[in-house]
Homo-oligomer: A and B are copies of this chain.
Amino acid sequence: MATPIRIGIVGVGLIGGSLALALRRAGLRTTAPGAVRSTIIGIDLHRASLLQARRANAIDLGFHPDQAPFASCDLVVLCTPTPALLESLPGIASSMQPGALLTDVCGVKELPCALGAAQRRVVFVGAHPMAGTEQRGFSAARADLFDGACVALCTPAGIAQGNGAWESAATAAVRALWMEAGATRFLELGPSEHDEAVAYASHLPALTAAALFEALEGAGAIEPAARALAAGGFRDTTRLAADGTVGQAAVHNRFIPAAARALSEALRNLAEASAQGQRTRDLRPLARRLELLADRRRAMPLPARKP
């Protein structure tokens, strides 16, 4: 951001806290003479989280949502879990200065963008940074969480809607925010397009991870042995099941039921292919298919794991 601004971050947990730390890190890098750093205002229901964030120098000021000075913020970023975010969005928009910028990090985009479009006071830019860990709360926040991440940006909604120049400026401002926070890739797309794509990239994996964990829990007499033998493969495949926030977003995704039904069908087909191969003692076609799939998966570019 060229000009120092007042940024409100609602929810200073893993995502909001990491955003605050990342913006602060960017501010410390500013060497321009006379540069004034932006003011970061943390807003959270939990006083303990605000204190933690203050102590870590991630935020300048901390407020309970009921006392938050939304009217004094140039930009507000909603970083609470999906249900709270959807519930608070209209009220926060109505507390802000007309024409100010409101954005979010919600894992679904149809619902918040519809709420953003339903008000005509602020500019709402739905965003979704593709980064996270299964940890929670400000204590899990890290300044490098978004380094190299891709951020999905939806078409501005609300007061700027239909004004091309204003829309572009709003998108540019949110993009600049996330570039300051470390993101390097951006994908502009509509809310529906986002939700359908993220169903495959994140939400279906999260719900499937949950189902896999429940399968182990429901393994009956064999469960203790299954737990003892569970190692890195089980750890990684079910990691997203430990991240309740992705699951929260996933169940709100309109494209999830169809995608989950299709995956259910695919798993049934795999079960039949395996059963038939075992009966006929010819598992080569299935093994070959998995080999080729493994090659394609290894060739897929994906962000490296952060240490």
Contact = CB atoms under 8 A, between A and B. Distances in A.
Q: Is the interface of A mostly helix, strand, loop or mixed?
A: helix
Interface stretch (A70-78, A118-126, A162-170, A239-247): A239-247
A286 interface: yes
A300 B227 contact: yes
Contact of A305 (B232, B251, B274): B232
A11 to B, nearest CB: 16
Interface string A213-254: 111111100110111111111111111111110111011111
Given A205-B233, A219-B200, A237-B209, A244 B305 contact: no
B283 A232 contact: no
A216 B187 CA distance: 17
Interface of A: 83, 128, 130-134, 149-150, 152, 185, 187, 189, 193-194, 196-202, 204-219, 222-223, 225-244, 246-248, 250-254, 256-268, 270-275, 277-278, 283-284, 286-287, 290-291, 293-298, 300, 302-303, 305, 307
25 contacts: A128-B229, A134-B298, A187-B228, A196-B226, A197-B222, A200-B216, A201-B216, A201-B231, A201-B234, A202-B230, A202-B233, A205-B237, A206-B233, A212-B263, A213-B293, A213-B297, A232-B302, A238-B297, A244-B293, A244-B294, A256-B274, A257-B278, A258-B271, A264-B264, A264-B271
